[in-house]
Amino acid sequence: MDLISGAERLVLVTGLGGGTGTGATPALATMAREGGVSVQVVATLPLRLEKRRREQAQAAVDQLAAADIDLVLHDHEDMVIRHAGHASLDDYFLKIDQWVVEDFLTRETHHAQ
Ligand SMILES: Nc1nc2c(ncn2[C@@H]2O[C@H](COP(=O)(O)OP(=O)(O)OP(=O)(O)O)[C@@H](O)[C@H]2O)c(=O)[nH]1
Ligand SMILES: [Mg+2]
């Protein structure tokens, strides 16, 4: 909390579905919000074949929605089709992470105009 107290805004970018990001994101977001910080979460949802992880991710999304946290969600299920032609999973994640950040910055620019 020390890290974010005094901040105007917190942007959390995370790949939901595992342990760390899925647990920490709603906790941090809620804590920051309660401390008066404006919070934005940018997150990816796991593939449908990652069944258990997808359920965990959805639970985190529900928590964020219940706390009325601003959320931009990208589904790997859609992105993996849209961004076909990657050499490996690492290559895919690298491209996707760049795309997710660019997309967010584009949204910000539109907002500011
Ligand atoms: N956008 C993006 N998604 C990723 C990346 N690596 C994994 N994922 C996706 O994000 C989900 C969570 O990744 P994990 O590494 O399991 O999550 P974590 O938060 O690090 O949690 P633990 O590793 O369990 O501590 C995975 O199920 C994948 O769908 C990545 O580099 N970029
Ligand atoms: Mg991990």
Establish if 57 belongs to a structural domain: yes
Q: Whose CA is nearest to atom 30 of ligand 1?
A: 93
CB of 21 closer than 6 A to ligand 1?
A: yes
- 46-50, 60-64, 84-88: the lowest-pLDDT one: 84-88
- Render pLDDT for 83-93 as a digit per residue (tens, 0 to 9): 888 889 999 99
Establish if 45 belongs to a structural domain: yes
Establish if 2 belongs to a structural domain: no
Establish if 73 belongs to a structural domain: yes
- Render pLDDT for 70-113 as a digit per residue (tens, 0 to 9): 999 999 999 998 888 888 999 999 999 999 999 999 998 888 77
Q: Which of 79, 82, 93, 95, when mutated, tests ligand 1's pocket best, judged by the most ligand atoms within 8 Å of its CB?
A: 93
Alpha-helical segments (H) within 14-88: 20-34, 51-66, 76-82
CATH of the domain at 28: 3.40.50.1440
Establish if 89 belongs to a structural domain: yes
Q: Which of 13, 14, 16, 42, when mutated, tests ligand 1's pocket best, judged by the most ligand atoms within 8 Å of its CB?
A: 16
For residue 20, the CA-to-ligand 2 centroid distance in Å is 7
- Whole-angstrom distance, CA of residue 40 vs CA of residue 22: 15
Establish if 65 belongs to a structural domain: yes
Q: Measured between alpha carbons, how far is residue 110 from residues 1, 58, 104 in Å?
A: 30, 28, 10
Establish if 84 belongs to a structural domain: yes
Establish if 37 belongs to a structural domain: yes
Supply the range of the domain harboring residue 47: 9-108
Full-model pTM: 0.92
Tell me how many domains the chain contains. Answer: 1
